[in-house]
């Protein structure tokens, strides 16, 4: 891998949401972070563009995001805030906000309202 300024990792896709898929995505995320320590990271979940629901409104997708976040150690709010420390609020919403809405940090969103992310 060469050095990049910003890297988006696809952590999963619709119909590929098993624990094994999350583990593979976690390994890919950890390797990319190790190889590119100065890069800004973000993530995406593919295959939901045609679904009118938000990712956090899709139970299997939200559960998958929670599993992946736990595997990469982003299930702690303070750690996730350090990783996704962006000046651009849209990037914060697309990463930290998505984790929050999917219930990664608690049963209910800690600081995000869904309408902020749409």
pLDDT higher than 80, residue 29: yes
- Identify whether 50 is part of a domain: yes
The band of 113, judged by pLDDT with boundaries at 50, 70 and 90, is low
- Identify whether 56 is part of a domain: yes
- Identify whether 79 is part of a domain: yes
- Identify whether 49 is part of a domain: yes
Residue owning tokens 């976690």: 26
pLDDT tens digits along 46-66: 999 999 999 999 999 999 999
Closest CA to 45 of 96, 94, 117: 94
CA dist 40 and 89 (Å) reads: 14
- Identify whether 1 is part of a domain: no
In the chain, the number of structural domains is 1
Closest CA to 65 of 93, 44, 34: 44
Closest CA to 55 of 98, 97, 17: 98
Average pLDDT over residues 75-84: 91
Give every CB contact of residue 108 below 8 A, 6+ residues apart in sequence: none
In this predicted structure, which of 20-24, 40-44, 82-86, 98-102 has the lowest mean pLDDT? Answer: 82-86
Residue range(s) defining the domain that contains residue 77: 6-117
């Amino acid at each position: 891998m060469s050095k990049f300024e910003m890297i988006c990792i696809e952590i999963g896709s619709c119909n590929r949401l098993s624990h094994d898929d999350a583990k593979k995505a976690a390994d890919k995320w950890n390797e990319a972070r190790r190889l590119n320590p100065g890069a800004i990271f973000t993530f995406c979940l593919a295959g939901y563009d045609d679904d009118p629901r938000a990712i956090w409104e899709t139970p299997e997708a939200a559960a998958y995001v929670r599993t992946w976040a736990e595997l990469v150690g982003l299930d702690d709010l303070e750690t996730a805030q350090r990783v996704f420390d962006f000046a651009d609020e849209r990037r914060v919403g697309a990463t930290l906000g998505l984790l929050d809405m999917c219930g990664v940090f608690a049963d209910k969103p800690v600081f995000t309202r869904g309408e902020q992310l749409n």
